[in-house]
Structure formats: C-alpha cells, structure tokens
Structure 1
C-alpha cells in the first residue's frame, strides 16, 4: 500500500506534470493545478540531455518526444570569425544509456503538451487557471482552499511551481534567488538544413552564441551577454538588439539571422540560481524542480533535474507504506547532493566565462556526465 492515496500537485511544468504522471500511473489519485490558462510555456525550446530522455521514457512518452524533437550526439564549437569556422566537434556523453541519443532539442510548448496528454491518459485531473489560496496541514493531511472557491484534503501537496514558487512562500521558506551576471536572448524559428546539432560560438561581443534544432523544421537560437536591464525595450527593439548582437556570428547564423523578423518570437531573461537546503519538505508539503533548485543552462541539466525529482519522489511514495521521516531522509539522500552538484557545476562554468578564466571545462563536464549517467 503506498504512503499516499491522494496528492495535489501545484504547477504544470516538467517537475509537476512528471510527478503527477508517475503517481497516477501507480494508482494514486492526483489533482494538478496550474495558474496559467494553458500549456504555452515561456521561452522557445529546450535541450534535453540523455538522463532527461531516460526519465521521459520511464514516463511512457519517449516515442512522442522522439517524433516531435530533434536528436543529436555531437556538439560543435565554432569561431566568431567571418566564416563561422568549426574548430571542434565533441561527442556528447550518452548519459541516458547507449540506446538513447546524447541530447534532443524540442519546443517547450510541445513537450508540455506531450506530458499533459500523458497525464490525462493515466487519470490526472488537471485544472488550468487555478491555484491554491490556503494550505492548512496537520499530522494526517493537508486542507487546501483553491482560487475558484473549492476546497479539498490531500495526503500530500507537491509544490512544483517554479523559481518564484508561491508554495515555498506559503510555507514561510526563505530562499535567496540571485542573478549570476548573465542574460540570454532566445528566439524560435525555422531550422536551416545546415543546423543538425547544437553549435556554440565562444567569444566575440557576447559570451556565447548558439542554437539547437528542436524538430525537422524548427530551432531555437540564443545569445548570452552580460546582465543588463533590457526591460525598457519594446518588442521591436528587442528583436533589433538580438539581430545586432548576432551580426558578429556567421556560418549557419547568417541563415538564422535572416529569419529573425517576428518580435513575438524573441525573449530575454537573466540567468538565476538557488539551491534550497535540505529538507525540501515541511511536513506534508514538499518542493521539487525549480522551486527547490535552479541553475543557468550552461550544461543543460535543469529539465533533467526536475524530471529526476519527480521519478524519485513518486518511487518512494509508492514503494513505502508511510509518509514518515525515513521516507524524507531517503528523498534527501537521493536528490539534494546530486542537484546541488549540478547547480554548482553550472554556476562554475558561467563564472569562468564571466571572469575570462580558462577552467577545466572538459574535466567538469566529464564529472557531471559520470554523475548523471547513474540513475537517480
């Protein structure tokens, strides 16, 4: 008999939807609330490393993800010269195992749709445009009042509501989220035939210019610059700024730049980071995903860490018979240090670029690949 019979998941992103799917597929009654009105996600595309693909397979959606995304096994390094010269081709570690690609790019909104379709298939009850307004827990459960005026009681509440987690604040958990000093321009558009993998351009006026194919006919492109306040720019000015920054980069970037014409497909955010000290639960409410840990996408492990949180939490909740301290200790042992190590590595790579330091990038990447190749 599982440790929980019914669970509320707050947040319909990767961590929340994956947790809901794993629990519902194992017989737990799950409600999921998402404050946004639909599955549209901020941003453009996402890069999923092999360990993320391993967890998506465990969710029963690998075939859909494979069909909708674009897989590759090599990362290219290009020079910021007039030709976009390829200076290195680096085989990526297959952290999900030899039978899965090393990496796969996918539109964020499409990944959200695939996961929510799977949630509906296994019986998760999803409500959009809804969140909670009050949590009141005792030793036996959590009473929840919702923004639509309804109320219910659950054995457990999972807060998977992102970097600015309202669940975290409702628990009175203080966590400092800080900018690391980098901002990123992202755009979404058509994939030129020349783009068949992620290529990274280091140097020039920005820290990094890169792109990732997300399907047979789409990609997302990005440029990383020093953090600055871009909030006053109009959408047209944002588009013009990204185009201007991209002019230092060539090769496939020349084709990509020609498609940068729609301001609605450009967005700008800052890289941020935090790690919540253990434990991630307060009684019968637990935080997962970006609500507990977030990092810059320098090693593209944010999505994978969220998915790993989900699979470990669901496994423990359904394999054990009591929601007790032993269960939470096991969750902490399997998730906290692993997530912290990935966050710190991501931040280290960013700091080396900020400081113009030639750190041991290959060694750091090997250590993270060795860690994430082992299932969580």
Structure 2
C-alpha cells in the first residue's frame, strides 16, 4: 500500500509540471496550484544537456517537443573573436535514437509539459497559492488563498526562488542572494554555423549562442552589475550592446542587431541553497525553491527536472514517507550542491577577471558528474 496517494504541488513552472507528470505516471493523485492567473512563461529558451534529455525521455515527454526543438551534439568554448579553444562532444545518455543535447524555446516546452500534465489527469488551478500549512497526523491540512481547504499526504514546494513554501518551513533563514552578476538574452534568426551550443569567453562576462529551432537561436551574455541597478526598460537594447563591447566575429556582428529593448530579457542572478534536509514532515521542496543557482553551467532547470523524476521514483519505492524523503535527499543533495557551487564559482571567477580559471575543465567535470545515474 502506498504511503502517498494524494499530493499537492505548489508552482507550475518546469519543476512543478515535471513533478506532476512523474507522480501521475505512478498513479498518484495530484493537485497543482500556480499563483499566476495566466500561465505566462518567462525567458526565451533553455538548454537541455545530456542528463536532462535522459530524464525527459524517462518522463515520456521528450518525443512531444523534439520536432519543435533543435537537437545538437557538441559544445564549443571560444575566444571573444570566435577562435575555438575546445570542442566537447556530447553523450547520448537517453539512447542512440535521441540527441545528446536539445535547445528549446520555453514557450514550446511549457506547452508540452502543461498539456501532458492535464492529459494525465492532474487537477490544475491558476491564480491560487497556499496561505497556511498544518501537519496533522499522517497528512497536511492546507488553507488556500481563496479560502478553500484540502488535505494531502504530501505537499511539494516547487514555487521557485522566492518560494512561499520555503518561507513557511524555514522562515527567513534562507533568502535569495544577489551574486553581483546579471544575464541578458535576445532572440535571433539562427546563423548557419550555430548547430551546437557555442560559448565565448570575455574578460568580464561569458556570451553564448544557443540554437532553439531550425530558424531560431538566442544570445546570452553575463555582466558584472555590483550595485544590482534598476534598469530602465527603454534602454535595455543599448545596455546589452554595451555589455558585448570587445566581442568580435559573429557575436560582434549580432551585437549591432540588438535594437529592440522590448525583446531583451534581463535578469539579475540570485542564488539560494538550503544546507539541511529539504523537507519537514510531509512538506518537501524541489528545484529553485531549494537550490537556485546561476546559468553558467546550464543546469538550473535540469536539476529541478531530476528532482521531479527522483521524487516520483522514491514515493513508490516502499517505506514510510520519512524514509522516502530521506532517500530522495540522499540521491539529490550532493549532486545539486556540486552544480550550485560550481555555477557560482564560474561567475565569481568572471567577476574577478581570473585568467587562470580553468572553465573548460569545469565544464568537462560537470558533464562527467551529470552523466552519472541519479
């Protein structure tokens, strides 16, 4: 007999939707609530590296968006002028029939994940969150913000960097920290040579080009913003071009095409990592709610997806809820800690202009670690 039959998931982002899919595939009843009244998607695109491709195939959703994505094998690391320093081959961890890596627009990914969640029978309510949680006996009594109530065997906080559920569990103990950097993103028609993830190392920031589909790619660049300034939305295009000064080659050519401030996606980089068990009783945190990191290794969303898969496996693997969550932590903590700390380290070295930092070695090590089974 299952210890967990009914679960509330708080948050309808990538981690929350993947958790809903994983649990429904194990025949666990799922209610999902999302604070947004409309399911808008932030950002432009997302990189899914080999380990993430493997887990999305395991979830049974990869085939649903491959046609809308861009499949690629390798990653290159280049100078500011585009001279190649290293080409790192990908690994087909999902099997020979699937690519090593995938670039996908966030909108296309969200469409597949949300449609799959609904098709699998999860109950979804928008414009709603949790007001209070009370753990009673073998369940959690939940008061929602609309005054309704529910009782669940488990509550999953997948509500992101500013997680309300994390606040209910840990109060003010864990608050997001600004790293000193920001990231800028902009969509372009895909250049013929961008058939892989291409990154470019600058003295003060790292730029990159990510293919998202046959006709689309996006550019990103990190920048040092020590005062975390409030950006004037009307000047974002000008400011993004300024952060790309010094880059030549293809990045330099594209820089001059950044003219529409409304198309610039700007985000200060904030991190949080909970250095103790990610659960209290029958409430558990996953994804950015518990280990939000920077995009320097392209694994933030990937770690949330892995969390979802592992949680789904452990909730049907026998034992008490406490034993299940202990096993979940044993499989996730060190792996997520490595990604979190390594990503932050890469950003710190950029801000320090540390020319001795072995970024290529760190990327290779990350790929080795994430290729290991979870």
Question: Fold match, TM over 0.5?
Answer: yes
Residues 1:365 and 1:78: Cα distance change in structure 2 (over 3 Å): closer
Is the Cα–Cα contact under 8 Å of residues 68 and 108 in structure 2 kept in the other structure?
yes
Q: Does 1:137 align with 2:129?
A: no
Residues 1:240 and 1:366: Cα distance change in structure 2 (over 3 Å): closer
Shift of 1:237: 0.4
Separation in structure 2 between the aligned mates of residue 184 and residue 53 of structure 1, nearest angstrom = 24
**Cα displacement string for residues 71-116 of structure 1 (whole angstroms, at most 9, x for unaligned residues):** 21122233323xx444443323445555432321111122111111
Q: Which moved more, 1:140-149 or 1:4-13?
A: 140-149
Q: Does 1:339 align with 2:349?
A: no
Separation in structure 2 between the aligned mates of residue 132 and residue 150 of structure 1, nearest angstrom = 10
Corresponding residue number in structure 1 for 2:105: 107
SS at 1:77 equivalent: strand
Is the Cα–Cα contact under 8 Å of residues 88 and 364 in structure 2 kept in the other structure?
no
Q: Does 1:167 align with 2:165?
A: yes
Corresponding residue number in structure 1 for 2:323: 326
Residues 1:92 and 1:256: Cα distance change in structure 2 (over 3 Å): same
Corresponding residue number in structure 1 for 2:43: 43
Corresponding residue number in structure 2 for 1:91: 89
**Cα displacement string for residues 95-154 of structure 1 (whole angstroms, at most 9, x for unaligned residues):** 555543232111112211111111011101111111111211112211112222221111
Could you state the TM-score of these two structures normalised by the residue count of structure 2?
A: 0.92
Separation in structure 1 between the aligned mates of residue 308 and residue 329 of structure 2, nearest angstrom = 13
SS at 2:266 equivalent: strand
Separation in structure 2 between the aligned mates of residue 273 and residue 43 of structure 1, nearest angstrom = 17
Corresponding residue number in structure 2 for 1:197: 196
Residues 1:113 and 1:255: Cα distance change in structure 2 (over 3 Å): farther
Q: Which runs of 5+ in 1 are unaligned?
A: none
Residues 1:234 and 1:61: Cα distance change in structure 2 (over 3 Å): same
Is the Cα–Cα contact under 8 Å of residues 94 and 373 in structure 1 kept in the other structure?
no
Q: Which moved more, 1:250-259 or 1:187-196?
A: 250-259
Corresponding residue number in structure 1 for 2:224: 226
Separation in structure 2 between the aligned mates of residue 318 and residue 144 of structure 1, nearest angstrom = 23
Shift of 1:274: 2.3
Separation in structure 1 between the aligned mates of residue 177 and residue 373 of structure 2, nearest angstrom = 29
Shift of 1:287: 0.4
**Cα displacement string for residues 319-340 of structure 1 (whole angstroms, at most 9, x for unaligned residues):** 22532x3222211111111111
Residues 1:363 and 1:68: Cα distance change in structure 2 (over 3 Å): same
> Equivalent of 2:237, from 207, 229, 239?
239
Is the Cα–Cα contact under 8 Å of residues 69 and 103 in structure 2 kept in the other structure?
yes
Separation in structure 2 between the aligned mates of residue 257 and residue 284 of structure 1, nearest angstrom = 50
Separation in structure 2 between the aligned mates of residue 356 and residue 97 of structure 1, nearest angstrom = 39
Is the Cα–Cα contact under 8 Å of residues 228 and 268 in structure 2 kept in the other structure?
no
> Equivalent of 1:356, from 350, 353, 357?
353
Q: State the number of aligned residues.
A: 372
Shift of 1:277: 1.8
* Aligned-residue RMSD, C-alpha: 2.0
Shift of 1:229: 4.6
Q: Which runs of 5+ in 2 are unaligned?
A: none
> Equivalent of 1:301, from 286, 299, 320?
299
Corresponding residue number in structure 1 for 2:268: 270
Is the Cα–Cα contact under 8 Å of residues 159 and 168 in structure 1 kept in the other structure?
yes
Shift of 1:286: 0.5
Separation in structure 1 between the aligned mates of residue 228 and residue 357 of structure 2, nearest angstrom = 30
Corresponding residue number in structure 1 for 2:181: 182
Q: Does 1:20 align with 2:20?
A: yes
Residues 1:242 and 1:176: Cα distance change in structure 2 (over 3 Å): same
**Cα displacement string for residues 53-78 of structure 1 (whole angstroms, at most 9, x for unaligned residues):** 11111111111221111121122233
Separation in structure 2 between the aligned mates of residue 67 and residue 298 of structure 1, nearest angstrom = 27
Separation in structure 1 between the aligned mates of residue 119 and residue 353 of structure 2, nearest angstrom = 49
Separation in structure 2 between the aligned mates of residue 199 and residue 366 of structure 1, nearest angstrom = 15
Residues 1:33 and 1:332: Cα distance change in structure 2 (over 3 Å): same
SS at 2:111 equivalent: helix
Separation in structure 2 between the aligned mates of residue 177 and residue 369 of structure 1, nearest angstrom = 26
Corresponding residue number in structure 1 for 2:75: 75
